[in-house]
Chain A
């Protein structure tokens, strides 16, 4: 088995402000997350608060804002455990953000025994 992080991206200039739409989108994500937990695929996942709330730190500065200014920002992420990339893509492809105007990025994580990997969240 291998772990992948799935990052959820959404364009900043197309953010929905209508609270009803937002609520229904979030409900979709909530249901999807529950589904992945029930399937035993997801280890951990969470939406991120508005990217305006980001603090960036470099050796010589502390800045109110994102590390890199881009049009598409990460709005959430989750960690899954599956056999291979085909399985990871099959899971990530189901993410509701894909039909909400955004997209996802699948990144393999280092194997558990590799340096830098700490802690484990029971699935």
Chain B
């Protein structure tokens, strides 16, 4: 007998750490995403029971893989007798049709597909890359890529994904079904792209993870008060982002971009508890309590960025990671090297010449060269960013710093009229009352 709490904790840990490994190994067998997912889900349910009774196995991933594949095999044998025919997921080296299998389940002799016989055999981890690249395939609609990544790589339930995006569970279920049907009917292959396509496909993956990082950022931290709706699911989203990036960093050591985005995710997490105060009010960077930041995470992020830069990386995600590290690493706010931050933004603008990046650069300029210089750089963005609340907030703050309160007030009022977080709206209303 194991302590029921310990068994449940082990299953939860295994879910976070091994979901995509177990799923990839099961998809390799079924070549049917739905069947594989069902089997993996059942394997986790079975683990909860069995591990409580007979203890947590030495190799949880291996145990779960074996259990999931056995269940899948059972279903496939029955389906075969019913002559069920569905187009199978394209998996390199695999022919069509369900192969005959031995009782012990050692059936896979396809090149590029390693065998996972039982829990004594170490589980091969790199099959996870197939799912990561499948979920972010360029032939899928951007929203499909996002939800499939959460489902296939993160193992989030339909309810969790629906909650993270504040939509009905039935809506999300339909979206997932459509995305998987698209994969099946179009025969989108479940494979790691060949070398000549790897970099562009990696950008697709990172773009998905970057959107998810923004969603996960809404998970807040240890902010007092009741958690906002969907925040638990958004924490699971952030877990998925970090986990997926760790896999990419591990398995594609020659690529520097995943390290940049992982650094961003870790830094976000390190600072999560101080970004907002009571009632979700944003706290300015200079006023955040750095002593509460997670130093261990910050150091890890810093090492990732420094290593990737030393390796010659200069891609946009690495530059963003470097910017985030520049801001987070110094022990005191006054020690931030804003000149360097401005230079990193200049480099980022070469990749992404967008008004949003310009706006972020303006904030760095205000620290490096003062509010007047920043305001001069900000004004040309007025037309493009008129609908964007942060533009007006930053404009109001710069004008306040320059003592131009008559012009700052309309800017804050304009900000309040644009959509944004409730906590920030509170703050803006207070500013308008006191100025």
Q: Which residues of A contact B (CB under 8 A)?
A: 2, 83-86, 89, 108, 111, 113
Interface string of B133-152 (1 = CB under 8 A from A): 00000010000000000000
Are A83 and B90 interface neighbours, CB within 8 A?
A: yes
Q: Could you name 11 residue pairs across A and B whose Cβ atoms are closer than 8 Å?
A: A2-B187, A83-B90, A84-B187, A84-B188, A85-B90, A85-B187, A85-B188, A85-B189, A86-B191, A108-B185, A108-B187
Query: Please, which residues of chain B bring their CB within 8 A of the CB of A113?
Result: 85
Chain A residues near B186 (CB, 8 Å)?
85, 108
C-beta contact mask, B59-97 vs A, less than 8 Å → 1, else 0? 000000000000000000000000001010010000000
- Kindly report which residue of chain A lies nearest to residue B197, judged by CB atoms: A86
The interface residues of chain B lying within 8 Å CB-to-CB of A89 are 139
The answer to whether A84 touches B189 (Cβ under 8 A) is yes
Contacts of B188 in A (CB 8 A): 84-86
Interface size on B, residues (CB 8 A): 11
> Which residue in chain A gives the minimum CB-CB distance to B90?
A84
How distant is B214 from chain A, measured CB to nearest CB, in Å? 29
In the complex, besides A85-B90, A85-B186, 4 extra interface pairs with C-beta distance below 8 angstroms are A84-B90, A85-B189, A108-B186, A111-B87
Residue of B nearest to A109 (CB): B185
| Chain B nearest CB, measured from A122 CB (Å) | 20
Measured CB to CB, the closest approach of chain A to B274, in angstroms, equals 45
**Docked pose: A83 CA to B189 CA in angstroms:** 9
Q: How far is the CA of A108 from the CA of B183 in the complex (A)?
A: 11
**In whole angstroms, how far apart are the Cα atoms of A108 and B186 in the complex?**
5
**Separation of A83 and B96 alpha carbons in the complex (Å):** 11
Q: Which B residues lie within 8 Å of A2 (CB)?
A: 87, 187
Contact string, B225-248, partner A, CB cutoff 8 A, digits 1/0?
A: 000000000000000000000000
10 closest A-B pairs by CB: A84-B189, A84-B90, A84-B187, A85-B186, A85-B188, A2-B187, A108-B186, A85-B187, A86-B189, A108-B185
Q: Which residue of A lies closest to B138 (CB)?
A: A89
Taking each of B90, B187, B189, B191, which has the highest tally of chain A beta carbons within 10 Å of its own beta carbon? B187
A89 to B185, CA, bound (A): 15
Residues of chain B with a CB closer than 8 A to A111's CB: 87
Cα–Cα, bound, A84→B193 (Å):
13
Per-residue A-contact encoding for B107-132, CB less than 8 Å = 1, 0 else: 00000000000000000000000000
Q: In chain A, what residue has the closest Cβ to B193? A: A86
In the complex formed, the residue of B with least CB distance to A89 is B139
Chain B residues with Cβ under 8 A from A86's Cβ? 188-189, 191, 193
Q: Which residues on A sit within 8 Å (CB–CB) of B139?
A: 85, 89
Residues in A whose Cβ lies below 8 Å from that of B85? 113
Q: What residues of chain A lie closer than 8 Å to B87, measured between beta carbons?
A: 2, 111
CB of B179, distance to nearest CB on chain A (Å) = 14
CB distance from B188 to the nearest CB of A (A): 5
Closest chain A residue to B183 by CB distance? Answer: A85
> With a CB–CB cut-off of 8 A, which chain A residues contact B191?
86
Minimal beta-carbon separation of B143 from chain A (angstroms): 19
Min C-beta distance of A88 to chain B, whole Å = 8
Cα distance, A111 to B188, chains bound together (Å): 15
B76 to chain A, nearest CB (A): 19
Query: Could you say which residues of chain A place their CB within 8 Å of the CB of B90?
Result: 83-85
B164-200 contact mask (Cβ, 8 Å, vs A): 1 or 0: 0000000000000000000001111101010000000
Q: How far is the CA of A113 from the CA of B97 in the complex (A)?
A: 13
Instruction: Report the separation of the CA atoms of residues A111 and B85 in the bound assembly, to the nearest whole angstrom.
Output: 11
List chain A residues, Cβ under 8 A from B185: 108
Closest to A90 in B: B197
Return A5 CB to nearest CB of chain B, in Å. Answer: 12
Q: Kindly provide the distance from the CB of B204 to the nearest chain A CB, expressed in whole angstroms.
A: 13
Compute how far the CA of A84 lies from the CA of B87 in the bound complex, rounded to whole angstroms: 12
A2 to B186, CA, bound (A): 9
